[in-house]
Structure 1
Amino acid sequence: MTGLRRSLLFSVLDRYGVYAFGLVGTVIAARLLTPADFGVFAVGASIVMLIDVMRDFGAGTYLVQVEEARRDVVRAAYTVSLLISLACAAALAAAAGPIARFYGEPGLAHVLLVLAGTFLTNPLSTAATAMLRRDMAFDVLAAISLAGAAVHLVVLVSLATLGHGYMAMAWAALASGLTRGAAANLARPMPWAFVPGLAGWRAVLAFGGWSTATAVVNVIHDALPQLMIGRILGAAPVGLFGRAQMVCQLPDKLVVSAVHPVVLPALAEHARGGGSLKEAFLLGIRHMTAVQWPALLCLALLADPVVHLLLGPQWSTVPHLVRIMAVGMLWLFPAFLTYPTLVTLGRIRDTLTLSLITIPPSLLLILLASFHSIEAVAATTWVTAPLQVLVALSFIRRHLTIGWGEIARAVCPGAVIALCTAAGPSLVVALGGFHLDISMPAMAIAIALAACGWLVGLHVSGHPLLAELLGLRRRLTRWA
């Protein structure tokens, strides 16, 4: 097995394991907590997201891609991360009371104070985690992530069972952060890295400034909609919208999040070796559409039983939102490659420019939709997702000289595979009288037919992913 395939394998195990823990926690918490509990924590988490992006300041990413990670460089990255994390924690703690009064939720202050403590866990793991990523030690990183996820699950379920409501989620986040920080330093001990130093700080700030500015704009795009919904429609709609987003992000968390940690190190290594980034980009979107599009179409068809299984019957409004958002998210197939590709090309500034072009009109549209209904907010994905992707592809095409025809040829097999995959679930829904709220046995049959249709689609389209799956099967057979 090649180094890249091995890294991808452990990254997949990492993300799937972490998501499995998170999914179990969500399923249990959805039955122990109310939509209002989720709404209060979602508002607090959204506020933290706006500040959280500042605390690392791109220090970890800088250490991954820097040509030579000398001790003075690592110490400078740690020092920058430490100072900014302390400032962010202090700012959030000071603002907790006023923010809670603004939203009329006294408990929000307690959530924010606990989440401020999570900022202080970041400098503990920045250097060790970055060096493990640089060394492509994704097996160790997987163990660290799984340990943090396990602690999160135990603390969340325990405190929710004891009746701590939204605070159960806050304390679980803090416990998980402490666990990951301790585990990272046990796996990669670097006590010398905790000696403050500013040698080479200019390079860290130069990279981190552009990276953080881009991240801030993108986090605003992710967090501000929930803040606007909470202010205009109330806490309960925030909880409904957040759960719909969680369900719609299932394909992303199961596929993209598993691949994402490996993409930047792999692309940087590929470029240093003289490889073609154009071919790598086209191959990436070819593979992504073959997985993401079928998953989203099936999710739109099976939203009712999926939501009932994951969240319970009290979330009956969510399936309709899931169907709306899943169709709009079909456009986001190249999103996971945009940032790594531009960084590898040395165009870190373009990532900020791209975000500034697409995000303000997207937020304005969501704000206007918030005055109408939560369904209107969900429908904005039909406009915002195509806008973001078309602008991103325009930037990448300029640097890699990719034609629109080449992109169309890369994604056409994915469209064929998606249609083949969705045929089985569509048949189940049709035989059930075109009622989308099918039973659990019917959903099991639909999923089985979708898996068969996906394999047929791979064969019919001649997709290269089929060869990878056959190779993986041979390796597993030899191992067994």
Structure 2
Amino acid sequence: MASLEQYVALLINFAALVIMARILTPGEIGEAVMGLAIAVVAFSAREFVTSEFLIQRRAVDAEVLRTALTLQVAVSAAIAAVLVALSGFVARFYAAPDLSFFLLLAAAAGLAEALAQPVIALLRREMGFGVLACIRTVVSLMTVLTTIALAILGFGPASFAWGMLAGALALAVLAIACSPFPARQTFRPGLEHWREVLAFGLFKGAALVVERIHETVPQLILGRLASMTSVALYNRSNALCGIPDRIIMSAFYSMAFPALASRVREGHDIDKTYLAVLTYLSVLYWPGVALISFLAPSIVEIVLGPQWSQAAPVVRILALAAIFWLPVIVTGPLLLALGRNRDAFLASLISRCLAAGILCAASLYGVTTMAFSQFVSLPLQMLIALVFVHRHVPFSLHGLLAALMPSAIVTGFSLAGPITLLALQGQENGGLPGFCAALLLAGCGWLVGLLATHHPFLAELRILLNAGRDHAHRLRQFLVALGT
């Protein structure tokens, strides 16, 4: 269900990416990216009072939920007030008058979203991924449809902010409706467990703030020193390279912390679990980013349109560098599941600070240099992640290489077909037909690679095939019964 939610959200957001790239200019999208980045950095501070402490708590009652809700709303209100107060200064700093109103709407959206956070944490605690999938799908649709409709009506960059506000309001309403506790019990002030919330959120909040700064500050510098168009090129290139991340990693991350925490509580061998996670993720993620790098010109033309052709080299560089990102995303949820919040914070702090410094320095020299700098920052983050995990999960280098080598071979099989097709075509961009043919060949190569290496992921494919066969059999039985 966690994966299904991510796939639906990916399709919705992908459609929005395609449509908005053709409605707004790169400069207008760049201005919206700046506003969203500022809002994201500001509201990341409320993770210091994160509601996720509810996930690892042995028991949750109405008083605990009231504490989580009170702190979320109070901190979000303070952040929103600061954002509103500074909105005029930010607009003048970037010489973008529309940014002021954009930030006002973003502040309102952040405040509305705070009402939903404790309930979302409760649903994750109970593995209620089906309910979460429904809620987030509705929210994604509300956000995207509002954004597109207002962009068509000529609202420009502000259409993104209006969409964000519509989605936040929908999230708040749906979360309140799905709360396991009556509203009259939870929607009252309460601070009885505030020390517990702060103790849990101290390191997690600091880690998330550092992560958001790493993601957004280089773009903020780029917007000030270069142009909004440069920001849009870098951001949209990252979005295209993030498609495998959204399909595989985001689905993993949404259930990783509660699932790993459950395995730790039950006393499972966490060493084998960690290496198995890397094996399964790498065979999906590595072929995805490698294929995006190889097909970058076709992807940019098909998804964004000809006005974004300058993004193709940036996409190619970023996607290839993303190969080093794999172990990093597993580190946070694993360390949190082990109760090592401090190490999770330190790992994120060290790696993100180094990466942010590298990206900020590279942003002084333009978009392409920022992309190439990922070949320095991502390997550094990977090494730091492995070092911190090794403190508590004593895997061997041989075991790590043995877990990843089959996926590397499968990746090579996946690229063999597209490379052969390119050699036969004699041109890099084969348009939509060439792109579809390359995808088909890559899929066939991937399956051949799985069989050739006897990859552990074959067991998952057999489970899926058996489940599909069972569903088809039940469907046939139902149709026969209906006919008789």
Shift of 1:203: 0.7
- The one of 123, 126, 144 equivalent to 1:132 is 123
- The one of 443, 447, 470 equivalent to 2:435 is 443
1:421·1:450 contact (CA, 8 Å) conserved in 2? yes
- Which residue of the partner structure matches residue 42 of structure 1? 33
2:241·2:319 contact (CA, 8 Å) conserved in 1? yes
Matching of residues 193-204 of structure 1 within 5 Å: 193-204=186-197
- Which residue of the partner structure matches residue 168 of structure 1? 159
- Which residue of the partner structure matches residue 252 of structure 1? 245
Instruction: Give the Cα separation in 1 of the matches to 2:194 and 2:356.
Output: 34
- Which residue of the partner structure matches residue 462 of structure 1? 454
Q: Which amino acid aligns with 2:134?
A: A
- The one of 353, 359, 365 equivalent to 1:372 is 365
2:113·2:168 contact (CA, 8 Å) conserved in 1? yes
- The one of 233, 239, 244 equivalent to 1:240 is 233
- Which residue of the partner structure matches residue 24 of structure 1? 15
- TM-score, scaled to structure 2: 0.95
Is 55-64 or 439-448 further displaced after alignment?
A: 55-64
1:56·1:122 contact (CA, 8 Å) conserved in 2? no
2:150·2:159 contact (CA, 8 Å) conserved in 1? yes
2:50·2:205 contact (CA, 8 Å) conserved in 1? no
Matching of residues 33-432 of structure 1 within 5 Å: 33-190=24-181, 191=183, 192-432=185-425
Instruction: Give the Cα separation in 1 of the matches to 2:187 and 2:437.
Output: 55
Shift of 1:56: 4.2
- TM-score, scaled to structure 1: 0.96
1:56·1:85 contact (CA, 8 Å) conserved in 2? no
Q: Which amino acid aligns with 1:74?
A: L
1:57·1:208 contact (CA, 8 Å) conserved in 2? yes
Q: Which amino acid aligns with 2:372?
A: A
Structure 1 unpaired stretches of 5+:
1-9
Deviations 1:38-86 (A, max 9, x none): 1111111111111111224352211111122122221111111111011
- Number of positions where the alignment pairs a residue of Structure 1 with one of Structure 2: 470
Is 468-477 or 84-93 further displaced after alignment?
A: 468-477
2:67·2:191 contact (CA, 8 Å) conserved in 1? yes
Q: Which amino acid aligns with 1:111?
A: F
- Secondary structure, aligned partner of 1:333: helix
Instruction: Give the Cα separation in 1 of the matches to 2:314 and 2:238.
Output: 9
Instruction: Give the Cα separation in 2 of the matches to 1:383 and 1:193.
Output: 47
- Which residue of the partner structure matches residue 6 of structure 1? none
Deviations 1:187-245 (A, max 9, x none): 22531121111111101111111110111111110111110111111111000000000
- Secondary structure, aligned partner of 1:437: coil
* RMSD across aligned positions (CA): 1.1
- Which residue of the partner structure matches residue 4 of structure 1? none
1:217·1:356 contact (CA, 8 Å) conserved in 2? yes
Instruction: Give the Cα separation in 1 of the matches to 2:49 and 2:308.
Output: 38
Shift of 1:370: 2.0
- Secondary structure, aligned partner of 2:334: helix
1:251·1:292 contact (CA, 8 Å) conserved in 2? yes
Shift of 1:359: 2.4
1:305·1:440 contact (CA, 8 Å) conserved in 2? yes
Structure 1 residues 197, 251: closer, same or farther in 2, change over 3 A?
same
Q: Which amino acid aligns with 2:447?
A: L
Shift of 1:131: 1.2
Instruction: Give the Cα separation in 2 of the matches to 1:424 and 1:60.
Output: 47
Instruction: Give the Cα separation in 2 of the matches to 1:370 and 1:300.
Output: 21
Shift of 1:282: 0.4
Structure 1 residues 187, 71: closer, same or farther in 2, change over 3 A?
closer
Instruction: Give the Cα separation in 2 of the matches to 1:67 and 1:174.
Output: 34
Shift of 1:37: 0.9
2:49·2:71 contact (CA, 8 Å) conserved in 1? no
- Which residue of the partner structure matches residue 482 of structure 2? none
Shift of 1:157: 1.4
Instruction: Give the Cα separation in 1 of the matches to 2:440 and 2:17.
Output: 24
Structure 1 residues 266, 189: closer, same or farther in 2, change over 3 A?
closer
Instruction: Give the Cα separation in 2 of the matches to 1:379 and 1:231.
Output: 20
Instruction: Give the Cα separation in 2 of the matches to 1:375 and 1:167.
Output: 28
Q: Which amino acid aligns with 2:413?
A: C
Instruction: Give the Cα separation in 2 of the matches to 1:189 and 1:342.
Output: 29
Shift of 1:117: 0.6
2:51·2:197 contact (CA, 8 Å) conserved in 1? no
Shift of 1:164: 0.7
Q: Percent identity?
A: 35
